[in-house]
C-alpha cells in the first residue's frame, strides 16, 4: 500500500511541466505506461487505496469495559464473597455462592450492553475508502483501457470525461473546458475550471484552495474532457492526507479508557460525562474501600462473629460484612443506568432528525460551548439560487429557494408586481437559457423515497435554468433555436458565447424583444460583468429599444454590481446582438476559438445582470440567536472568500451589525504566516475573538478546533465534506449532514443530522441538556440509596444489632426494584427554560456540592426511617430483643430475624418508590406535575411487581433472598407502610435546604445581561466567578461571553488605567481612535499604551454583545468597538439571577 517513503515524493507537481513529469515518472504523455511498468509500479507502491486502522472486535470492546474502576471493585467483592463461602461451613451448598454469582451476572450484563453499543459505531476511514471510483480509463500500451481504480499507479495517463470521478491526484496534460466539483474536498459548491497551464498569481490576489492544473482524488468532472498524469495515489493523495490526519490523531490518543488494550472508543475525546463518571466512580470506590476497612476494624474489635456459625472467627464474618458494605457503597447501577438512559435518548433523538453514533455524545451536547460550523451545505443550502436580476434599468427579485422551479417567480423591486411576462425579463432569461448546457429534471431521492429537482451540468448555470422555468421557459425551447457556434467558458475568457439561428423570427420569444428584419443569427455572451461590460455599447430599454451605454450608465451599472457583491451575490452579465452572417468563415479550420470569440463579441447590447447566492437555510438565523441565548457561540469555518463569508455570517446572525470585521473575521492565511502556524499562545489569542474563518484548509479547521479546546471550550463541529472529517474527528462532538454529507464526514462524526438543518442542533442541545439533568437526578437517587445502605450497615455493626440485609438483597434492591425508577428519572422531560441556562463547564462534576447536600440529607432521612422500622420489627418478631447477642439465643431465631428483615426490605422499597417521584425535582414539590413523566408510572408498576416476586414467590424468596412476605402477616405489612409516609414528608422538607443552596449558588455566580439590538431584546444568562460578581456590583462592569467561557472584559478603569480582565493595562486599537481600551488576549491587533478615559471602554466581542458602563451623570453610555470607536447603542449590565438562570 502506498505510503510516504516507499518512493520518490513529488514536491509541487503543479509547478512542473507535463514533460518534466513525463521524465520523472518514466511515462509517455501519448502512450501512457506499458503493462510491465504498471505491474512493477503496483508492486512497488501498493494499490491505490486508503489505509485503515484495525477495528476493535466485540471481544476487545467487552474486555475493555471490564477495566472500569467500579467494575473491578465489584469483581473483587465477588471474589471475596466466594472465598468466605468456600471457607465457611456451607461451602458445599450452591446457594451460598449466589451473591458472587449475582455480582458477576451484573458485571457481564453491564459490560455486554456497553460493548454492543460501541460495536455499532462506524469507522470514518472505512467510509473514506468507499469514495474511490470502482473503475477508470487509462492509457496502457498506447490504448485506452478500463481498469479498477485501485490498480491506478503513478505515471498512468488517466482519461477524464464528464461524470467521471477522479481516481487519484492528477496533473492535467490536456484540458478542454474541464470543470471539476471540489465540494467534497473544499466544501464550496461552485465548479472549478481547470487548465493545463498554471496561472501566475498576483501579489494581491487571494490564494486559491487548489491549483488550476491539478485535479484530486474523489472529485467529479462536471464538464469538458481531458487527460492527466497520475502524481500521487493512495495515502499520498489529498484525501489520503486527510485520512492520515485522522489516523495519526487516533494513534496518538492516550489509552485512558482501555489500559493495555487497544483504544476502542469511537470518539477522539472522552466526553464530559465519561470523565465525570470515571472521577465519581474512583472517588466512591476510594470511599468504599476506606469505609470497609473501618467497619472491618470496628467489627473485629467488637468480636462480631457470624450468628449462624458462632464458632467461626470474627474476621471471617467481617470479611463477609465488608463485602456487603462494598456492594452497598459501590454504585453498580450507575453505568448500566447511564447506558440505558443514553440509549433511550438516542432513540428519542431520531424524532428530532438526529442519528447518534456515540452514546455519550448525546449528553456532551449539553455542555457544548462552541459550535464550529461549515458554511456551505450547513448554514446554507449548498444550492446556488438566483435571487436578484437587473434588466433595462429595473431591479427585480426572484422568489423561491433551491432548484424547485414550481415555487416562486420574478417581481419588480419598485412596485412588487409580478414581472414574469415583462419583455426585458423574458428576453434576458431566454438569452441566458440559450447560452447554457445545463438541464433540470426530477430524480428519486434514495434516502427519502420522494422526488426532488436536480440540475445536470454546470452549477453556475443552474440558477438561470431554474429562474427561466419559473417564468415558463423550459430548456427544451433550445431545440427550437439551432445552435450554430459555441465557445465554452474558460477561466481565461471568463465568459461563454453561443451563436443561435433566429432566421424568420420577428421577436426573440413570445413577449420578448423585437428582432430586426435582417437578423439571421443571435450572438449571446454570458460571463463576468467586468468582461462583458467592456464589450457592450448598448443598453436594453424597457420598451425593447436600445440606448447608448454611456459612462454615466456604466457607473450606475457598476454600483448595482457592487451592491450585489457586497451581499455575497455572484453576478453574471448577459449580453446579445444580432448578425446577418458570421464575421468569419465557419468552414475555415484555421480560425481558433479565441479568434471566433473576438470577432463575435464586439458591439454587444447589455440585456441584464443575474445575481445568485447560496441561500441560508431556513430557521438558521433564529437558531444561531437561540444558541447564543443558551450561552453557545457559533463559529463559521469556510473555504469561501472572506467577503462572501462575512456577508453570509451577517445574514445568519453569527456576526451582528456592530461587529468589526477586522477583529471578528479573518482569512485563515493569518493563522499560518509564511506557511507555519502561529505559536499556541498567539493562535489562542486570535481564535478567542474570531467568529468567521475564511479560505480554510482542512488542517486549519483542525487547528482552530484544537485551539478552542485548549481554551476550555467543548466544541461541536458540523460539516458535510471530506474537508470537515479531521475537525469532526477531533471535536468533542462531530455533527455531520445526512443528506448532502459525504460518507467520510458521517463516518468521522458522533451524530448525523438527517434533515441537514442547523436548527436540529439546537434541539439536540436541548435534548442533551435534558438527558444530563435526568442523569443527575437518577445519580442523586441511586447515591442516596447507597448512602442509606452504608449508614444502616454501619449502624448495625456499631450498635450490635443484626445486619439489616444480605449482599444479595442489596443487589436486588439496587438493580431490580430501584433500577426502573432510576431509568425513568434518566429520561425525565427537560424543563421548559433549560436553554436559558449557560452551558455547564466541562469539568463541572456530575455531583456538585448542592447535590451532595441533597443526597446526604435524603440518605440520612432514609436511614433514620428504615432503621426505626427495622428496630421496631426486631422487637415485634424477636420477642422484644434487638441486639444480635440476645437474638441468636432465641428458638428459631433465623426465621424471626428473616421476618424483621422482610419488613425493613418492603418498607425500603416502598420508600424508594415514593422518593422516585420526589426526586423528579431538586427544589419543586412532589405534587407539581406529578404524572408528567409517563415512564415513571411504568417504572413504579415494574418495581412493585419485582417486590412482590421477591417476598412472595416460593423457594426464591425464602431460600435465595431470605425473605418471608407471607409469614410477616398483616401487622408486618402495616408497619412497613410507616417508612414511605415518613420518607415522603421528610424528603420534601429537605428540598427547602436544597432550593436555598441552589438559589444561593445562582444568585452569587450569575447575572442577566440585557442586550439591546436594533431588531430585538433578549436576556443572556452568563455564569461568572464570585470575584467578578463583586466587580459587577461595584463598577457597572462590562462583560462578554467568549468561546470557551465567560470573560469579564472591561469595567470602570482601575488604578493604573486598566480594566478588569485586561491584565491591568489599557491599549488603543491599531487604526482606531485613542482612548479605546481592549483586552489583548481577545483582540489581537491591540497595541499601544493609551489609557482609557474614565467614561470610555471597549472590547473586541465574541458574540457581539457590546455592553458599556454608564458614567455618573451621563445620559448615554460611551461605547467603542475594536478597530474604531463609536458612541451610544449600549446595553446595561444588571445584577439578577436565581433559579438556575
Could you tell me the pLDDT band of residue 653, with boundaries at 50, 70 and 90? very high
Using CA atoms in the order 334, 339, 340, 346, what is the torsion angle rounded to 10 degrees?
140
Angle, CA of 644, 649 and 650, to the nearest 5°: 105
Averaged over 296-317, what is the pLDDT? Answer: 73
Cα(610)–Cα(619) distance, rounded to whole angstroms?
A: 26
Task: Give yes or no for a contact between 585 and 596, defined as CB atoms under 8 angstroms apart.
Answer: no
SS3 annotation, 753-767: ECCCCCHHHHHHHHH
Spatial separation of the C-alpha atoms in residues 538 and 541, rounded to whole Å: 9
Strand pairing report for 1006-1012 and 1017-1023: antiparallel
CB 680 within 8 A of CB 710: yes
pLDDT in tens, 723-741: 677 778 888 888 887 776 6
Greatest Cα pair distance, the chain, in angstroms, is 127
> Which of 1138, 1108, 1113 is closest to 1125 using CA atoms?
1108
- Output the CA torsion sign for 257, 261, 262, 266: negative
Beta strand ranges found along 392-489 (DSSP E): 394-398, 410-412, 439-444, 451-456, 483-487
pLDDT at 875: 94
All three cell numbers of 140: 496502457
The three-state secondary structure class of 717 is strand
Which grid coordinates belong to 1067?
491599549
pLDDT at 337: 72
Cβ distance 1102 to 1088 under 8 Å?
no
Instruction: Please give the average per-residue pLDDT across 937-964, as a whole number.
Output: 90
Confidence class for position 722, pLDDT limits 50, 70, 90: low
Q: Which range, 287-296, 648-657, 1128-1137, is most confident? A: 648-657
Residues 6+ apart with CB under 8 A from 619: 757, 758, 759
Determine the Cα–Cα distance for residues 752 and 361; give it in Å rounded to an integer. 11
Lowest mean pLDDT among 60-64, 77-81, 400-404, 569-573: 77-81
Nearest CA to 1131 out of 1023, 1004, 1022 is that of 1022
Cell 420477642, residue? 879
Say yes or no to pLDDT of 297 above 50.
yes
What whole-number distance in Å separates Cα of residue 1046 and Cα of residue 715?
15
Of residues 424 and 1102, the one with the higher pLDDT is 424
pLDDT of residue 491: 65
How much is the CA Rg of the chain, to the nearest whole Å? 37
What is the rounded distance in angstroms from the CA atom of residue 354 to the CA atom of residue 767? 11
Residues 402-425 as b/e (b if ≥16 CB within 10 A, e otherwise) read bbbbeebbbbbeeeeeebeebbbb
In the structure, what pLDDT confidence band is assigned to residue 298 with cuts at 50, 70 and 90?
confident
Confidence band (pLDDT; 50, 70, 90) for 750?
confident
pLDDT of residue 524: 96
Among candidate residues 634, 647, 618, the one with its CA nearest the CA of residue 383: 618
Q: Which residue has the cell 470497609?
A: 292
The tens digit of pLDDT for each residue in 502-535 reads 998 989 988 999 999 889 999 999 999 989 999 9
Asked if residues 952 and 814 have their Cβ atoms less than 8 Å apart, the reply is no
H-helix segments, 269-379: 272-301, 314-329, 333-350, 361-364
Spatial distance between the Cα atoms of 119 and 1106, rounded to a whole number of angstroms? 48
- With b for 16 or more beta-carbon neighbours within 10 A and e for fewer, the 701-727 pattern comes to bbbbbbbbbebebbbbbbbbbbbbbbb
- Report whether pLDDT(124) > 50: no
| Residue 85 reports pLDDT greater than 50 | yes
Per DSSP, 1131 falls in state: B
Pair 1076, 1068: CB distance under 8 Å: yes
Alpha helices in 471-586, H assignment, sequence order: 529-534, 551-566
Active-site pick, 263, 374, 659, 720: 374
Q: Using CA of residue 994, residue 995, residue 998, residue 1004, what is the dihedral sign? A: negative
Residue 879 known to be catalytic = no
Question: What are the cell numbers at 40?
Answer: 512493477
Cβ neighbourhood burial of 610 (10 Å; 0-12, 13-18, 19+): buried
Instruction: Provide the pLDDT for residue 500.
Output: 95
What band does 308 get if pLDDT is binned at 50, 70 and 90? low
Q: Return d(Cα 771, Cα 550) in angstroms, integer.
A: 67
Q: Rounded mean pLDDT of 753-763?
A: 80
C-alpha to C-alpha distance for 937 and 417, rounded to whole angstroms: 59
Q: What is the pLDDT of residues 247-296, one digit of tens each?
A: 665 555 544 444 334 344 433 345 566 667 767 767 777 777 787 888 88
Q: Identify the burial level of 317 via C-beta atoms within 10 angstroms of its C-beta, where 0-12 means exposed, 13-18 middle and 19 or more buried.
A: buried
Sign, CA torsion 731/737/740/746: positive
Q: 171 with 191: CB under 8 angstroms? A: no
pLDDT higher than 70, residue 649: yes
Rounded to whole angstroms, how far apart are CA atoms 26 and 18?
12
Task: Give Cβ neighbours of residue 204 (< 8 Å, ≥ 6 apart).
Answer: none
Average confidence (pLDDT) over 803-812: 81
Residue 535: the pLDDT is: 93
CB atoms near residue 681 (< 10 Å): 10
Mean pLDDT of the 634-648 span? 87
Amino acid at each position: 500500500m502506498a505510503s510516504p517513503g516507499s518512493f520518490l515524493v513529488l514536491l509541487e507537481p503543479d509547478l512542473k511541466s507535463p514533460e518534466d513529469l513525463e521524465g520523472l515518472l518514466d511515462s509517455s504523455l501519448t502512450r501512457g505506461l506499458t503493462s510491465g511498468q504498471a505491474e512493477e509500479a503496483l508492486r512497488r507502491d501498493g494499490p491505490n487505496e486508503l489505509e485503515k486502522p484495525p477495528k476493535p472486535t466485540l471481544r476487545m470492546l467487552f474486555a475493555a469495559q471490564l477495566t472500569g474502576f467500579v467494575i473491578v471493585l465489584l469483581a473483587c467483592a465477588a471474589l471475596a464473597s466466594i472465598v468466605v463461602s468456600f471457607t465457611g461451613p456451607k461451602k458445599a451448598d450452591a446457594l451460598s455462592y449466589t451473591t458472587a454469582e449475582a455480582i458477576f451476572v451484573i458485571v457481564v450484563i453491564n459490560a455486554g450492553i456497553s460493548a454492543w453499543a460501541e460495536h455499532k459505531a462506524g469507522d470514518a476511514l472505512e467510509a473514506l475508502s468507499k469514495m474511490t471510483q470502482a473503475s477508470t480509463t487509462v492509457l496502457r500500451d498506447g490504448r485506452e483501457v478500463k481498469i479498477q481504480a485501485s490498480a491506478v499507479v503513478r505515471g498512468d495517463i488517466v482519461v477524464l470525461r464528464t461524470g467521471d470521478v477522479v481516481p487519484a491526484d492528477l496533473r492535467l496534460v490536456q484540458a478542454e473546458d474541464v470543470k471539476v466539483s471540489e465540494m467534497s474536498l473544499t466544501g464550496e459548491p461552485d465548479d472549478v475550471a481547470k487548465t493545463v497551464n498554471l496561472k501566475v498569481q498576483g501579489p494581491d490576489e487571494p490564494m486559491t484552495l487548489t491549483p488550476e492544473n491539478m485535479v484530486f482524488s474523489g472529485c467529479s468532472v462536471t464538464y469538458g474532457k481531458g487527460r492527466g498524469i497520475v502524481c500521487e495515489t493512495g495515502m499520498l493523495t489529498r484525501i489520503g492526507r486527510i485520512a492520515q490526519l485522522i489516523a495519526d490523531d487516533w494513534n496518538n490518543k492516550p489509552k485512558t479508557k482501555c489500559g493495555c488494550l487497544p483504544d476502542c472508543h469511537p470518539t477522539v475525546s472522552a466526553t464530559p460525562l465519561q470523565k465525570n463518571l470515571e472521577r465519581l466512580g474512583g472517588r466512591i470506590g476510594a470511599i468504599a474501600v476506606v469505609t470497609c476497612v473501618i467497619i472491618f476494624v470496628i467489627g473485629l474489635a467488637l468480636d462480631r462473629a457470624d450468628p449462624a456459625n458462632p464458632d467461626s472467627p470474627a474476621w471471617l464474618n467481617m470479611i463477609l460484612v465488608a463485602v456487603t458494605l462494598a456492594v452497598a457503597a459501590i454504585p453498580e447501577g450507575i453505568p448500566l443506568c447511564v447506558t440505558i438512559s443514553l440509549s433511550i435518548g438516542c432513540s428519542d433523538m431520531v424524532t428530532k432528525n438526529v442519528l447518534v453514533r456515540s452514546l455519550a455524545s448525546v449528553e456532551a451536547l449539553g455542555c457544548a460551548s462552541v459550535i464550529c460550523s461549515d458554511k456551505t451545505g450547513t448554514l446554507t443550502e449548498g444550492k446556488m439560487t438566483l435571487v436578484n436580476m437587473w434588466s433595462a434599468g429595473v431591479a427585480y427579485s426572484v422568489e423561491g429557494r433551491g432548484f424547485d422551479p414550481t415555487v416562486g417567480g420574478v417581481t419588480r423591486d419598485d412596485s412588487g408586481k409580478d414581472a414574469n411576462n415583462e419583455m426585458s425579463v423574458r428576453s434576458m432569461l431566454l438569452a441566458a437559457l440559450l447560452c447554457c448546457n445545463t438541464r433540470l429534471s426530477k430524480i428519486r431521492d434514495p434516502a427519502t423515497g420522494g422526488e426532488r429537482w436536480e440540475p445536470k451540468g454546470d452549477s453556475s448555470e443552474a440558477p438561470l435554468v431554474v429562474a427561466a422555468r419559473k417564468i415558463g421557459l423550459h430548456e427544451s425551447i433550445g431545440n427550437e433555436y439551432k445552435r450554430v457556434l459555441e465557445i465554452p467558458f474558460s477561466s481565461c475568457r471568463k465568459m461563454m458565447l453561443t451563436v443561435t439561428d433566429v432566421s424568420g423570427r420577428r421577436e426573440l420569444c413570445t413577449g420578448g424583444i423585437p428582432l430586426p428584419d435582417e437578423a439571421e443569427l443571435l450572438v449571446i455572451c454570458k460571463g463576468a460583468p467586468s468582461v462583458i461590460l467592456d464589450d457592450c455599447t448598448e443598453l436594453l430599454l424597457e420598451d425593447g429599444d436600445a440606448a447608448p451605454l454611456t459612462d454615466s450608465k456604466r457607473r450606475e451599472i457598476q454600483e448595482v454590481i457592487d451592491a450585489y457583491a457586497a451581499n455575497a451575490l455572484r453576478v453574471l452579465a448577459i449580453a446579445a446582438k444580432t448578425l446577418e452572417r458570421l464575421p468569419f468563415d465557419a468552414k475555415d479550420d484555421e480560425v481558433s476559438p479565441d479568434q471566433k470569440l473576438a470577432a463575435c463579441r464586439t458591439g454587444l447590447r447589455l440585456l441584464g445582470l443575474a445575481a445568485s447566492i447560496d441561500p441560508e437555510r431556513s430557521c438558521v438565523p433564529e437558531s444561531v440567536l437561540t444558541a447564543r441565548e443558551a450561552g453557545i457561540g457559533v463559529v463559521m469555518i469556510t473555504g469561501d472568500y472572506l467577503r462572501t463569508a462575512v456577508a453570509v455570517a451577517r445574514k445568519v446572525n453569527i456576526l451582528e451589525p456592530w461587529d468589526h470585521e477586522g477583529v471578528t473575521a479573518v482569512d485563515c492565511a493569518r493563522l499560518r504566516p509564511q506557511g507555519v502556524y502561529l505559536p499556541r499562545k498567539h493562535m489562542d489569542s486570535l481564535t478567542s475573538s474570531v467568529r468567521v474563518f475564511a479560505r480554510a484548509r482542512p488542517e486549519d479547521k483542525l487547528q482552530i478546533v484544537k485551539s478552542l479546546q485548549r481554551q476550555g471550550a467543548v466544541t461541536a463541529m458540523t460539516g458535510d465534506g471530506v474537508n470537515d472529517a479531521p475537525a469532526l474527528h477531533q471535536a468533542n462532538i462531530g455533527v455531520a449532514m445526512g443528506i448532502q454529507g459525504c460518507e467520510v464526514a458521517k463516518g468521522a462524526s458522533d451524530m448525523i443530522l438527517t434533515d441537514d438543518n442547523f436548527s436540529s442542533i439546537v434541539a439536540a442541545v436541548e435534548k442533551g441538556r435534558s438527558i444530563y439533568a435526568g442523569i443527575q437526578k437518577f445519580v442523586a437517587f441511586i447515591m442516596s440509596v447507597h448512602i442509606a445502605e452504608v449508614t444502616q450497615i454501619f449502624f448495625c455493626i456499631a450498635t450490635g444489632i443484626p445486619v439489616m440485609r444480605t449482599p444479595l438483597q442489596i443487589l436486588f434492591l439496587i438493580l431490580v426494584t430501584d433500577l426502573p425508577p432510576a431509568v425513568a428519572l434518566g429520561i425525565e422531560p427537560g424543563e421548559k427554560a433549560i436553554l436559558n441556562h449557560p452551558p455547564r463547564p466541562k469539568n463541572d462534576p456530575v455531583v456538585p456540592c448542592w447535590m451532595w447536600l441533597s443526597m446526604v440529607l435524603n440518605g440520612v432521612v432514609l436511614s433514620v426511617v428504615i432503621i426505626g422500622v427495622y428496630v421496631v420489627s426486631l422487637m415485634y418478631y424477636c420477642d422484644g430483643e434487638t441486639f444480635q447477642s440476645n437474638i441468636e439465643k432465641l428458638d428459631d431465631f433465623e426465621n424471626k430475624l428473616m421476618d424483621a428483615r422482610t419488613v425493613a426490605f418492603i418498607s425500603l422499597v416502598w420508600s424508594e418508590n415514593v422518593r422516585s417521584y420526589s426526586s423528579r425535582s431538586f427544589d419543586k414539590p412532589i405534587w407539581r406535575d406529578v404524572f408528567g413523566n409517563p415512564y415513571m408510572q411504568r417504572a413504579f408498576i415494574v418495581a412493585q411487581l419485582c417486590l412482590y416476586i421477591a417476598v412472595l414467590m416460593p423457594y426464591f424468596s425464602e431460600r435465595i433472598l431470605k425473605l418471608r412476605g407471607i409469614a410477616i402477616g398483616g401487622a408486618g405489612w402495616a408497619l412497613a407502610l410507616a417508612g414511605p409516609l415518613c420518607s415522603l414528608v421528610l424528603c420534601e422538607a429537605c428540598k427547602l435546604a436544597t432550593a436555598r443552596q441552589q438559589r444561593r449558588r445562582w444568585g452569587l455566580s450569575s447575572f442577566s445581561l440585557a442586550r439591546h439590538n436594533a431588531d430585538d431584546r433578549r436576556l443572556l444568562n452568563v455564569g461568572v466567578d464570585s470575584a467578578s460578581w463583586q466587580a459587577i456590583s461595584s463598577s457597572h462592569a462590562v462583560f462578554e461571553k467568549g468561546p470557551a467561557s465567560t470573560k469579564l472584559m472591561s469595567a470602570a478603569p482601575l488604578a493604573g488605567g486598566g480594566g478588569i480582565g485586561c491584565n491591568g493595562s489599557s491599549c488603543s486599537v491599531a487604526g482606531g481612535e485613542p482612548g479605546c481600551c481592549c483586552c489583548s488576549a481577545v483582540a489581537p491587533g491591540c497595541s499601544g499604551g493609551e489609557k482609557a478615559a474614565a467614561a470610555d471602554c471597549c472590547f473586541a466581542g465574541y458574540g457581539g454583545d457590546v455592553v458599556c458602563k454608564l458614567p455618573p451623570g451621563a445620559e448615554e453610555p460611551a461605547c467603542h468597538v475594536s478597530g474604531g470607536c463609536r458612541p451610544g447603542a449600549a446595553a446595561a449590565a444588571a445584577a439578577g439571577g436565581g433559579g438556575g438562570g
